[in-house]
A and B are shown apart, each in its own frame.
Chain A
């Protein structure tokens, strides 16, 4: 009786349960597949083709081989400036954000009262930090009549226009990025709370100093989260655009000091209509990010500690 029922059911569906589950899964994934082909991977491949062409939107793409790459790498001074600006931006922002977020998270994790309020307040800059409004605020803070100069005035230090001097403009941009450390801090805080209190108690019983506890217990156990934040911040910093755009008033200046890679890419594509050069830049960016994340993943085996409970 039972057997018959099962057989008739199977006949009606003509699919094993596994098959119908697979079919359902692919139906659920259909929008994602379409997006993957049309919006994500497809354009990346198309940009590889376009990077070997000269193309201005109006006439058909014209094959030029490696010309775009050679021009950028060997002849284009603005490109070189943009690489330097981006390198400074990434190399300064990422370590500073990691240090600030880890430090504040470690302090907050000491069982202080008001944790939730502190966490929210430190997080607020991350929410608004990428907005145009904050870019304008920064122009004021580090401008001639800005509140940063007011602050320096208390100590008798003469101010200047920090955002429009090429030697200090990059620092103001980095400061803005570091100001948004709260997002990393929230992730660190969650990680710190996963470390069993018994480890700390045992270390204290043995008379370890708080610095030793931080170095020997907190840092190793937190290393997977440090790694996660490091990867995330590196990729994000490479893509910074809005604030460099606003602080330089859409020019990348002064003296290309705020010409982040993405700003120059935008200018190549949408101001000069050099779609070939812009896509070549996009591919170089993709390669550099892939190399750097690859190197970071490789380095992880030497410093990221996964403990015994790794799944």
Chain B
């Protein structure tokens, strides 16, 4: 390819990226500007830097700080990660490494359930959790993960575990290892990349998930980051709270970007494989 064409492509990509990421950069920069300057000097480089917005945003609710929402989100995400790792790897192991009657049928049902819109289950699930007394607790957000209901991750596990060589397990079988030992001692440690992908994606999906948290967590003390941010809507979103809103928005996307940067090599490979095999 010619030098000129190469340069033109780089320039096109950089312009596209600047346009795409400019709003995010603007949000980060605004969050550090004194409230009055956000609209009067809308450029990217703040003329004055202040943490006033962060203080205002953090303490914007009378009975809760934004720290509470962050802590709640981390609790929900932590258990959701454990749940998905447990549920998806168990089911994934059976589908990927074991032979059993009706396997094709169950596998087809599992794949089909990836396409099932959650809205088709929303109301009866809510009624079930209401009957169990789980509304206004974290259980409706956590327990389903232990039951491998995120079929997407089961599929990810199956795809990964299938690529492991059969010889490893055969050797263990000859040594008299049980299926549990083969899963726990051999397959699971080798599946680390798939487990990391599952953990990071579970974090991001759960952390960003607004709908189920909106439904199940109504009390202020349980509210998570998306719900805490959405409280700014109720406050009217007037310009007096705009700096606080921007600063808490920046703070709220921080953990997602952090997780992504720490694990991006696993991640891009992880999402690429689901489309390919």
Contact with A along B81-106 (1 / 0, CB 8 A): 00000110011011100111101001
Instruction: Write out, one digit per residue, whether chain A residues 53-77 have a CB within 8 A of any chain B CB (1) or not (0).
Output: 0000100000000000000000000
Given contacts A127-B260, A132-B252, contact A111 B119 (CB under 8 A): no
Residues of chain B contacted by A258 (CB below 8 angstroms): none
A170-184 interface code vs B (CB 8 A; 1 in, 0 out): 000000000100010
Q: Please determine whether B91 and A29 come into contact, CB atoms closer than 8 angstroms.
A: yes
Task: Confirm or deny: B120 has a beta carbon within 8 angstroms of a beta carbon on chain A.
Answer: yes
Within B167-201, which residues are at the interface with A (CB < 8 Å)? 178-180, 183
| Residue contact A139 to B237, C-beta cutoff 8 Å | yes
Question: Contact string, B257-269, partner A, CB cutoff 8 A, digits 1/0?
Answer: 1001000100010
A35, B144: Cβ atoms closer than 8 Å: yes
Please provide the chain B residues from 228 to 277 with a CB less than 8 Å away from any CB of chain A in the complex.
229-230, 232-233, 237, 242, 245-246, 248-250, 252-253, 256-257, 260, 264, 268, 271-276
Among candidates B99, B154, B249, residue contacting A18 with C-beta atoms closer than 8 Å: B99
Kindly state the separation between the CA atoms of A88 and B179 in the bound complex, as whole angstroms.
51
Q: Using an 8 Å CB-CB cutoff, how does the interface string of A264-289 with B read, 1 for contact, 0 for none?
A: 01100110000100110111011001
B119 touches A282 (CB 8 A): yes
- Is B253 in contact with A108, judged by CB distance below 8 angstroms? no
Q: Does A40 contact B (CB under 8 A)?
A: yes
Contacts of B119 on A, CB cut-off 8 Å?
239, 262, 265, 281-282, 285
Number of B residues with CB within 8 Å of any CB on chain A: 91
Specify which chain B residues have a CB less than 8 angstroms from the CB of A228 in the assembled complex. Answer: 275
- Docked complex: B102-132 residues within 8 A CB-CB of A: 103, 106, 109-110, 113, 115-128, 130
Contact partner of B23 among A25, A111, A147, CB < 8 A?
A147
Most chain A CB within a 10 A radius of its CB, from B16, B242, B272: B272
Minimal beta-carbon separation of B254 from chain A (angstroms): 10
- B64 contact set on A, CB distance < 8 A: none
Residue of A whose beta carbon sits closest to that of B13: A118
Partner-contacting stretch, out of A212-220, A240-248, A301-309? A240-248
A29-B91, A118-B13, A179-B20 are known contacts. Are A186 and B123 too (CB-CB below 8 A)? no
| Residues of B contacting A29 in the complex (Cβ-Cβ under 8 angstroms) | 90-91, 94-95, 106
- A118 partner residues in chain B, CB cutoff 8 A: 13, 17
**Are B183 and A190 in contact, CB atoms less than 8 angstroms apart?**
no
- Are B90's CB and A132's CB within 8 A? no
Q: For chain A, residues 94 to 133, give those with C-beta under 8 angstroms from any C-beta of chain B.
A: 104, 107-108, 110-112, 114, 118-125, 127-128, 130-133
Interface positions, chain A 126-156, Cβ under 8 Å from B, are 127-128, 130-134, 136-141, 145, 147, 150
With A38-B147, A39-B149 known as contacts, the answer to whether A107 contacts B13 (CB < 8 A) is yes
Cβ-defined partner of A39 (8 Å) among B123, B125, B154? B125
Chain A residues closer than 8 Å to B23, beta-carbon distance:
137-138, 140-141, 147
Partner of B210, one of A28, A44, A139, A241: A241
Partner of A283 from B94, B120, B210, B248 at Cβ < 8 Å: B120
Against B, the Cβ 8 Å flags (1 = close, 0 = not) of A186-215 are 110111001000000000000000000000
Decide yes or no whether A21 CB sits under 8 A from chain B.
yes
A20 CA / B253 CA spacing, docked (Å): 48
A246 to B125 Cα, complex, angstroms: 24
B21 on interface, CB distance cutoff 8 Å: yes
Measured CA separation A34–B149 after assembly (Å): 9
CB pair A191 B147 closer than 8 Å: no
Of A35, A112, A114, A124, the contact of B148 (CB 8 Å cutoff): A35
CB < 8 Å neighbour of A225 from B99, B126, B237, B275: B275
- CB <8 Å contact, B229 and A132: yes
Known A35-B87, A43-B124, A225-B275; judge A107-B12 contact (CB<8 A): yes
A221 contacts the other chain (CB 8 A)? no
Write out the residue numbers on chain A whose beta carbons fall within 8 Å of the beta carbon of B15. Answer: none
Q: Does B215 count as interface, using CB distance less than 8 angstroms?
A: yes
Contacts of A285 in B (CB 8 A): 117, 119-120
Q: A28–B179 contact, CB under 8 A?
A: yes
Residue of A nearest to B5 (CB): A110
The residues of A that contact B86 with a CB separation of less than 8 Å are 31
Residue pair B94, A25 in contact (C-beta under 8 Å): yes
Give min CB distance, B42 to chain A, whole Å. 6
In the complex, whether B10 has a CB less than 8 A from a CB of chain A is yes
Residues of B near A270 (CB, < 8 A) are 126, 215
A127, B91: Cβ atoms closer than 8 Å: no
Residues from chain B with Cβ under 8 Å of A34 in the complex: 147
- Contacts known (A127-B257, A132-B229); A32 close to B252, Cβ less than 8 A: no
Q: Which residues of A contact B (CB under 8 A)?
A: 18, 20-22, 24-26, 28-29, 31-32, 34-36, 38-44, 46-47, 50, 57, 104, 107-108, 110-112, 114, 118-125, 127-128, 130-134, 136-141, 145, 147, 150, 179, 183, 186-187, 189-191, 194, 225, 228-229, 231, 235, 238-239, 241-242, 245-246, 249-250, 262, 265-266, 269-270, 275, 278-279, 281-283, 285-286, 289, 293
Please list 9 pairs of residues, one from A and one from B, whose beta carbons are closer than 8 Å in the complex, sorted by A's number: A29-B90, A31-B146, A107-B13, A124-B24, A133-B252, A141-B23, A186-B271, A250-B233, A265-B122
Lowest 4 CB-CB distances: which A-B pairs, in order? Answer: A35-B147, A190-B272, A133-B249, A43-B124
